[in-house]
Amino acid sequence: MRGHFWTVAPHLLQRFRRDGDPHARPWTTVLEDPTVGQVRLSGFLHEPVGARALLVVVHGLGGSASSHYAVRAARAAKAAGLACLRLSLRGADGSGEDFYNAGLTEDLRAAVESPEARRYEGVLVLGYSLGGHLALRYAVEQPDPKVRAVAAVCAPLDLKLSQEAIDRPGLALYRHYLLGNLRRLMAAVEARRELPVPLSVLRTVRTLREWDRQTVVPRFGFASPEDYYAWASVGPLLARLRMPALLVAAEADPMVPPAALRPSLATEHGALKVRWVSRGGHVGFPADLDLGFAASPGLESQVLAWLQARL
């Protein structure tokens, strides 16, 4: 039960806290998608005076730049003297221009290559859940030379194993929450253009696999959900890592459990450092968390200390 507590409690706490970074300003950039044309990305950017490096924060499935963990990361970046860009993946802000998938690194690439990011000597990437998967996937491709290190928190590595874990009967409440957020994203898309299937059909979907079959598969040209999972999963690609990467995983994570991660970590990958945490849930951890890095306690403080040491 402790994993469920640390997964749910931070989300509930956010309902009573509205303490995002008041100095962050809206940020946008545009990229060209070969299927839908121009796609506008959005987020929030905070640029403290004297900052020489930028932290790009990527949210998880159904989240956005305003998710509680993204706001926590922004506060930690400010304390560490870093500029911070909280990125909303395509459609996550309710713009309705398109929607993302777990292997679509183009949005992160566009943020890293934006004029605002170009002003900094170094760029660090911190992703949560699906955003962590995207950060690792970006790192094994051809990352921009300015990107010095990436960190992933509670990231799936094998998308098929993670889908099976989330679709377990005991996780119905988590699925209901995720699918509810995704339906709101797709409602905004349907207001602008035709969906692969009508929103009325998507309202009947009850599993993540079926959601992917009805949305990601036809939109991005996959043959099946399994084809999508096999193509997008970063686990088999970890041997390609050449830049420093950190993975923080919770032993009691109900959404990305250890059984979904360990097959991808059976072989040691020299560029990837893994920290298993006994107390914590899905992207939620106690305030006194110590990962063994020379920094004050807390997930973001510890992770940012590790990232900054790679600048």
**Residue ranges per domain, the chain?**
2-308
Q: State yes or no: pLDDT of 281 exceeds 70.
A: yes
pTM: 0.96
At 12, the pLDDT band (50, 70, 90 cuts) reads: low
Distance in angstroms (rounded) separating the CA atoms of residues 203 and 262? 34
Is pLDDT larger for residue 131 or for residue 19? Answer: 131
Residue range 272-300: mean pLDDT, rounded: 96
Is pLDDT larger for residue 20 or for residue 106? Answer: 106
Q: For position 23, what pLDDT does the model report?
A: 79
Q: For position 265, what pLDDT does the model report?
A: 97
Say if CB 107 and CB 117 are below 8 A apart: no
Nearest to 182 by CA among 166, 163, 199, 169: 199
Nearest to 112 by CA among 92, 82, 85: 85
Q: State yes or no: pLDDT of 307 exceeds 60.
A: yes
- In tens, the pLDDT along 135-175 reads 999 999 999 999 999 999 999 999 999 999 999 999 999 99
**Helical pair 2-14 and 68-79, crossing angle rounded to 10 deg:** 80
Is pLDDT larger for residue 20 or for residue 92? Answer: 92
- In tens, the pLDDT along 112-123 reads 999 999 999 999
Amino acid found at 135: A
Question: Which fold does the domain 2-308 belong to in CATH?
Answer: Rossmann fold (3.40.50)
Entry field: residues in the chain = 311
- In tens, the pLDDT along 169-210 reads 999 999 999 999 999 999 999 999 999 999 999 999 999 999
Structure tokens at 295: 């920094």
Q: For position 7, what pLDDT does the model report?
A: 74
Nearest to 46 by CA among 80, 95, 89: 80
Is pLDDT larger for residue 27 or for residue 21? Answer: 27
- In tens, the pLDDT along 213-272 reads 999 999 999 999 999 999 999 999 999 999 999 999 999 999 999 999 999 999 989 899
- In tens, the pLDDT along 31-79 reads 999 999 999 999 999 999 999 999 999 999 999 999 999 999 999 999 9
Q: For position 18, what pLDDT does the model report?
A: 55
Q: State yes or no: pLDDT of 19 exceeds 60.
A: no
